[in-house]
Amino acid sequence: MTGPSSQTRGRKRVAIASILVALGLMQSVPVLGGPEPSAGSLLVASRDLDDPNFRRTVILLTSYGPDGAMGLVINRPAAILPEQVLPEIAGLSGYDGPLFFGGPVQVQNILFLVRARDPPEPSRHMVGDIYLSGSRTLLDSLTQGSAHAGHLRIFAGYAGWAPGQLDHEIRRGGWHVTEATEDIVFCDDPETVWKQVLPLPKPVIAGLGAP
């Protein structure tokens, strides 16, 4: 007589896991994986990531490839206004959003995301109608009208990884990778974004072997 198939064993484990979840008798680990990282995707810090620079952060990847990766922390507004660090951009005096801490690398470097139907120049497409730029000329032009945080986000600094470093951190469980959306990147309450996009923990049973 042949034993139960791996599919049958898998179903039994799911059923057992459901029972143990209900009884509160099960350990859990974060769900990792998801889409492959790419420019325009999100990195979501895992519950166990305790690096103070990145704890509970959500990062929009702006570049990813053999030369390394770069991104902007989208959920850390700073207690400072963009006009305080960019006094030469006169239109920022009427801007209604904060400056964001984009990451620990080159905090004197200013980048911004703009939400626009038509690609502004110079800029690079990220996702949906969102574009990335660092041009002071473009920023000055964008703030001549009624610029607001629903269409413009300004960042000081960025997050950066050497070749292979981000992949290693993902494999170790430091980051979840998920798809970005315009509403998440330009969320009205950015400090809630981490909880919004953090995957639920995946239940596992201690001591239960692989199928």
pLDDT at 208 over 60: no
Residues 54 and 58: their CA atoms lie apart, in Å, by 8
pLDDT digits (tens, 9 = 90+) for 91-116: 999 999 999 999 999 999 999 999 99
Domains defined for the chain, CATH in brackets: 31-199 (3.40.1740.10)
Q: Which two tokens stand for residue 157?
A: 């600094």
pLDDT digits (tens, 9 = 90+) for 62-88: 999 999 999 999 999 999 999 999 999
82-115: b or e for each residue (b if 16 or more CB lie within 10 Å)? bbebbeebebbeebebbbbbbbeeeeeebbbbbb
Given this model, what pLDDT does residue 145 score?
81
Given this model, what pLDDT does residue 202 score?
66
> What is the chain's percent helix, strand, coil content, to nearest 5?
25, 30, 45
First to last CA, the chain: 19
Residues 156 and 99: beta-carbon distance below 8 Å: yes
pTM for this entry: 0.81
pLDDT at 147 over 70: yes
Q: Which two tokens stand for residue 130?
A: 């969102």
Given this model, what pLDDT does residue 125 score?
98
Q: Which two tokens stand for residue 149?
A: 């945080």
pLDDT at 58 over 60: yes
Number of other CB atoms surrounding residue 117 within 10 Å: 5
Residues 126 and 62: beta-carbon distance below 8 Å: yes
Closest CA to 183 of 143, 128, 124, 146: 128
pLDDT at 173 over 80: yes
